[in-house]
């Protein structure tokens, strides 16, 4: 190697070395974004006094509330069902046992699984939602509320509030529930469950002043809040 080549390499190293050092320092000085927890939500179990379609719709609302926090990586509800179906996993009303939930979580490759049950005694609804750690197979969070009133209020108030409470505990910081307006046609599109869940479900969750599915001029899905 001649002296000219040696000098060229020397000067090249003198130029590149400070740039490499500066790039390394810059990358180390930038705060690392914490990795989001992967979670999924199973269909809530429908107990006495509430239909399966209503329970699924409330599961969709709960899932949507978790997505809107932007604190977690939430598996899309339709994707959850598709993956479980592909793997031969049959979710039934009995999938409220920890073993069943953990099995679903392993198939979905998530860290946390939410599941719940909704029932009614007289005029009082009971909503219980829990979170299981898939790796340890232990229930880490549970929230239960009783509500005396109309089922629509579970959609407007109870479930969003419970979602915010559980999300706050999981994220380790306060999270406010997202406002769910009774005057918004957004409800027709929550996971598609209300729209396709049958006439009874559509009628039950129809906010005042919004056209029914039978109307010809049903608007397209609005942007989520």
How confident is the model over 95-111, as a mean pLDDT? 91
The answer to whether residue 182 is domain-embedded is: yes
Per-residue pLDDT at 89: 81
Can you give the CATH number for the domain in which 167 is found?
A: 3.40.50.10070
Per-residue pLDDT at 198: 36
The token pair at 201 is: 């479900």
Closest CA to 42 of 96, 4, 109, 99: 96
The answer to whether residue 224 is domain-embedded is: no
Give how many domains the chain has, as a whole number: 1
The answer to whether residue 225 is domain-embedded is: no
The answer to whether residue 220 is domain-embedded is: no
Q: Would the pLDDT of 64 be above 90?
A: yes
- Residues ≥6 apart with Cβ < 8 Å to 2: none
The answer to whether residue 152 is domain-embedded is: yes
| Structure-model confidence comparison of residues 201 and 122, the more confident one | 122
What is the pTM assigned to this prediction?
A: 0.67
- Residues ≥6 apart with Cβ < 8 Å to 3: none
CA–CA distance, 64 with 87 (Å, rounded to integer): 24
The answer to whether residue 165 is domain-embedded is: yes
Question: What's the domain range around 125?
Answer: 37-204
The answer to whether residue 22 is domain-embedded is: no
pLDDT band at 108 (very low <50, low <70, confident <90, very high): very high
Average pLDDT in the chain: 76
Least confident window among 4-13, 37-46, 126-135, 213-222 = 213-222
How confident is the model over 4-30, as a mean pLDDT? 56
| Structure-model confidence comparison of residues 147 and 187, the more confident one | 147
The answer to whether residue 127 is domain-embedded is: yes
Per-residue pLDDT at 141: 98
């Amino acid at each position: 190697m001649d002296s000219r080549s040696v000098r060229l390499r020397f000067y090249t190293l003198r130029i590149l070395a400070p740039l490499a050092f500066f790039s390394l320092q810059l990358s180390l000085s930038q705060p690392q974004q914490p990795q989001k927890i992967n979670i999924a939500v199973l269909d809530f179990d429908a107990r006495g006094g509430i239909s399966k379609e209503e329970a699924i719709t409330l599961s969709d609302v709960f899932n949507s509330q978790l997505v809107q926090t932007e604190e977690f990586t939430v598996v899309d509800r339709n994707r959850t069902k598709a993956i479980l179906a592909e793997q031969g996993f049959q979710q039934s009303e009995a999938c409220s046992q920890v073993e069943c939930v953990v099995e679903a979580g392993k198939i979905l490759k998530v860290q946390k699984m939410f599941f719940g049950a909704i029932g009614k005694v007289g005029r009082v609804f009971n909503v219980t939602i829990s979170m299981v750690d898939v790796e340890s197979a232990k229930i880490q969070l549970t929230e239960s509320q009783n509500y005396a009133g109309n089922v629509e209020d579970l959609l407007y108030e109870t479930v969003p509030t419970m979602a915010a409470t559980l999300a706050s505990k999981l994220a380790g910081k306060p999270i406010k529930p997202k406002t769910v307006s009774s005057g918004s046609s957004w409800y027709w599109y929550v996971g598609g469950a209300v729209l396709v869940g049958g006439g009874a479900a559509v009628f039950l969750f129809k906010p005042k002043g919004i056209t029914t599915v039978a109307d010809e001029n049903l608007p397209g899905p609005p942007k989520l809040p």
